[in-house]
Amino acid sequence: ARKPLNGTPPQVSKALPSSLLERRPDVASRERLMAAANERAGIARTAYFPQVGINLGGGFESAKVEKLFDGDSFLSSIGGGVQQVVFDGGLRGARHRRALAERAEAAANYKETVVTAFREVEDALAAIQLLEKQHTIQQRAVESARRMLELSEKQYEAGFVSYFEVVIAQRALLRAQQSAAQLLGARFEAAVLLVRALGGGW
């Protein structure tokens, strides 16, 4: 038999460090591949992952996630520009050019993976916030329907209305409760999606 869905989803912190996303398997894997490509190209490893705040109400501090990787800022953050290496010591052989091409490809893949991770977190946070508001409104509707049922039952007992009015109120309450249960389930699902997007929780 099915059991009623009770309880509330876990509360999300108002501010989360973006470094949580580095635990994601896809991000960690792409970072290792890029580190290896950098090493083959003779580029020292620095901090790859963009550090920004994640806020429950407003998403990320950056207006657009893509801006985290704009221009030379991303190239320098992953270990220096290509020009710096091409003219370092006169290494212009085919092997080195191939290493630089592999490094560029690894950097592009890493960027794509990180941007996807940020978007998934932002979508999950937005869904959590929206569903919480909708569920609160629906809970009020449930309470209103419950009061209407109580009023209908009293009016029926006093002989002012027929039992049909009570049945209508009962159905209205049931529909309101079903909607509230569906929204609660959606809130739990959104919390699970956030945990997955963050790489295991917060």
Q: What is the pLDDT of residues 71-92, one digit of tens each?
A: 544 544 544 444 444 444 454 5
- Non-local (6+) Cβ contacts of 153 within 8 A are 166, 169
Question: H or E element: which one contains 43?
Answer: none
Question: What distance lies between CA 164 and its chain's CA centroid?
Answer: 47
Read off the tokens for 83. 């020009």
pLDDT of 79 = 46
SS percent in the chain: helix, strand, coil, step 5: 70, 5, 25
How much is the pTM? 0.68
Q: Select, from the ranges 4-13, 15-24, 53-62, the one with the highest average predicted confidence (pLDDT).
A: 15-24
